[in-house]
Structure 1
Amino acid sequence: MTEHTTGTAARAVTETPTLAIDPGMFTPAPGAAPMWRMVAAQTGMELRVMLRHGEQFLLTMVIPVLLLVGFSLTGVLDVGEGPRVDALTPGILALAVMSTSFTGLAIGTGFERRYGVLKRLGATPLSRFGLLAAKTLAVLGVQAVQIALLGTVALFLGWSPTLSPLSLLIALTLILLGTAAFSSLALLMAGTLRAEATLAGANLVYVLMLGLGGVLFPTSNFPGPMEQAVSVLPITALTSGLRDLLTHGAVPGAGVFLVLLVWAVGAGLAASRLFRWE
């Protein structure tokens, strides 16, 4: 009985079919993910961090809305002829672009660098270009929310912009150029200065550009030499371009695009060369 059982078990084991295993199934295949996938993952993380940060939310959403509502409903500032909200909205949109792509980005990146976050990212396959691209894309995502919010508030206040397919396309081009210029400046500052210096410098620039960049009133109110000096600032070019388009229905001059392009290319090249992970 025992011999019969043992023989049956042996035959069952012998007759059991073997599975065909691909020799390459368990072969390691190390390597980085495609660049677009790394940039997309980093963009998602940057976007979540920016939207959760209370101070950046105040800077990017609350302050522009308060400025738009407050100065549209009161006559504290001389904003020129026509409805106040029509004169103020383009400047506030430009300020929102700067607050996200320059002030918020510079401060956030500066402290990421200080706390070693960028150092750890530098040890990953994510390149310097990938990090800069991810941060810029996250900024564009926040700006889309800003523009939708400010546009809705302005419409409730009686804003009547001059819109056409061409003007929308030109406005989008201006915003993209302005974002590239401000983001490059922010990363240049955050990648070369200490976090405390970046914090102080970014806030100082924000306040100065709010007063000198034509955000709340046209720079034509300034004396001649001063008007020419501030005309080369990116915030002034963006504000005047958006005001020409949305308020006066006129296509901005080539100088506006040239100023933004020069700042974007110059600061971008400097940031790509001088940016330090730690």
Structure 2
Amino acid sequence: MSTVIVPTSPGMRTRRVLSQARFETFAVLRNGEQLLLALILPLGLLVFLSTTPLLEALGAIPEGGDRLSIALPGTLGLCLASTAFTGQAIATAFDRRYGVLAQLATTPLGTTGLILGKLGAVIGVVVLQFALAFAIACGLGFAGPIHVVPLIVATVLGTAALLSLGLLMAGTLRAEATLGAANLVWVLMAGAGGLVLPGTGEWGTVVGYLPSGALGDAMRASLADGWDVKAMIVLLVWGVVGTLAARRWFRFE
């Protein structure tokens, strides 16, 4: 008996990816822990840093700046880290543990469609995060400047770098190890990694070459001077390295 292979049109593949992205997005928004990580903690931090004298006490506000000039870009970077890195690393690791990834990879969606679906979900959640962050910031008195193109480029490069590293972690470590490591890395990025507050001195030079520090620098520049070319290049390099490493070592089972 001969086997009939039904061709798959680009439109069908696109619909499958969009359906997977929609499923992944609603899975995040329905999960209480994911909501805490993706929305409540970053947006709560924005309000806290903008309404308390902590930034002045730390000497983190540049000359001529205000609290929101540091709090808003730090929040945007933390939103990306929460969704593209920590959230996806944990969700993917447990999908892998329970065999979901292995099953989806053999469906018409395929491995590439699965990855594109996750990327689409990240983009959808990030758009929501950014919209809420800017709305809250405007309510607190933020009046710009906003350099749209550098902000978009920093967001894309930061998403690529953090998502590839999150998938690398999820595809090589056990689910329980990924859960602990991803949360620990999130805390380190937020606290000392240059993501929320700019690094100073020699430590600031070091973290500037890490994904968290480069993303923080790029976000701060996009809401101040415009471009931080060095930070963009660092993010691009991390994105390429993370993607190649994930393709090489990611295991679906």
TM-score normalised by L of structure 2:
0.91
Shift of 1:233: 1.1
Shift of 1:243: 1.0
Q: Which residue of 1 aligns with 2:72?
A: 89
The structure with the larger Rg is: 1
Shift of 1:255: 1.1
Q: Name the CA distance, whole Å, in 1 between partners of 2:70 and 2:15.
A: 42
Q: Name the CA distance, whole Å, in 1 between partners of 2:36 and 2:72.
A: 18
Shift of 1:113: 0.7
| 1:190 aligned onto 2:170 | yes
8 Å contact from structure 1 (residues 230, 236) kept in 2: yes
8 Å contact from structure 1 (residues 89, 154) kept in 2: yes
How many equivalent pairs are there?
244
Q: Which residue of 1 aligns with 2:242?
A: 267
Identity of aligned residues (%): 44
8 Å contact from structure 2 (residues 17, 117) kept in 1: yes
8 Å contact from structure 1 (residues 47, 139) kept in 2: yes
Q: 2:104 aligns with which of 121, 139, 145?
A: 121
Whichever residue aligns with residue 188 of structure 2, its letter is L
8 Å contact from structure 1 (residues 51, 57) kept in 2: yes
- Residue 124 of structure 1: SS of its match in structure 2? coil
Q: Rate the CA distance shift 1:128–1:29 in 2: closer, same or farther, 3 A.
A: closer
Query: 1:122-201 counterparts in 2 under 5 A?
Result: 122-163=105-146, 167-201=147-181
| 1:47 aligned onto 2:22 | no
Q: Name the CA distance, whole Å, in 1 between partners of 2:40 and 2:214.
A: 24
Q: Name the CA distance, whole Å, in 2 between partners of 1:64 and 1:192.
A: 28
- Residue 191 of structure 1: SS of its match in structure 2? helix
8 Å contact from structure 1 (residues 91, 242) kept in 2: yes
Whichever residue aligns with residue 169 of structure 1, its letter is V
8 Å contact from structure 2 (residues 105, 114) kept in 1: no
RMSD: 1.7
- Residue 128 of structure 1: SS of its match in structure 2? helix
TM-score normalised by L of structure 1:
0.83
Shift of 1:70: 1.1
Q: Name the CA distance, whole Å, in 2 between partners of 1:137 and 1:127.
A: 15
8 Å contact from structure 1 (residues 184, 268) kept in 2: yes
* Deviation per residue, 1:30-52 (Å, 9 max, x gap): 35564323222211211121111
Q: 1:240 aligns with which of 201, 213, 217?
A: 217
* Deviation per residue, 1:189-230 (Å, 9 max, x gap): 11111000100110010000011222332212xx32x22211
